[in-house]
Amino acid sequence: MNNNNLKTIFLTQEYSAQILEIFNDAILNSTALYDYNPWTMDTMKTWFEMKSQHNFPVIGIVDEDNRLLGFGSYGSFRIRPAYKYTVENSLYVHKDFRGNGLGKILLEEIIKNAIAQNYHCIVGVIDSSNTTSISLHKSFGFHFSGRIEQSGYKFNRWLDVDFYQLILKTPEHPVEGNQ
């Protein structure tokens, strides 16, 4: 794969079908998402509305044919106001393009955008068996901050989830309250 022909872009609902394909592969064939049932276009519409409402970017990598190879985003970690400087990231690479460094490009863009939006902490919630994602996050300075054992059940087995976090130097002047 020639990464010189790839573009990193902010995705809109125009990419819903391609995102849906990647999400549903992860749901049906991995423990990257602790969902059982494939998502629908209605789910995607709601997902994009939530991202837009909270100004959370959806970042994609596309090739010269505008095919989505992978995407990443972040969202609220918890809904209480004091968590306003913490986000939970996620990234997914199309099954046909894994192992080409796309996850690295996406995570770099996620971090860059989180800094630009003055977040302070990015949390990766990763299935404990997903050594590829764990290694990727560690390569960017994320550190292990805890495990919840047997927190999920999928594919007829209990799943452990690990938490990795990256502390950013932003914001320069944090404030309490809802602003």
All structural domains of the chain, each given as residue ranges with its CATH number in brackets, are 3-167 (3.40.630.30)
In this prediction the pTM is 0.95
Both tokens of 80, joined, read: 């209480």
pLDDT digits (tens, 9 = 90+) for 43-93: 999 999 999 999 999 999 999 999 999 999 999 999 999 999 999 999 999
Q: Using only the alpha carbons of the chain, give its radius of gyration.
A: 16
**CA–CA gap between residue 109 and residue 114 (Å, rounded):** 8
> Does the pLDDT value for residue 178 go beyond 80?
no
β-strands 121-127, 143-154 pairing: unpaired
Give the strand order in the sheet containing 121-127: 7-10, 58-62, 68-76, 86-93, 121-127, 157-167, 143-154
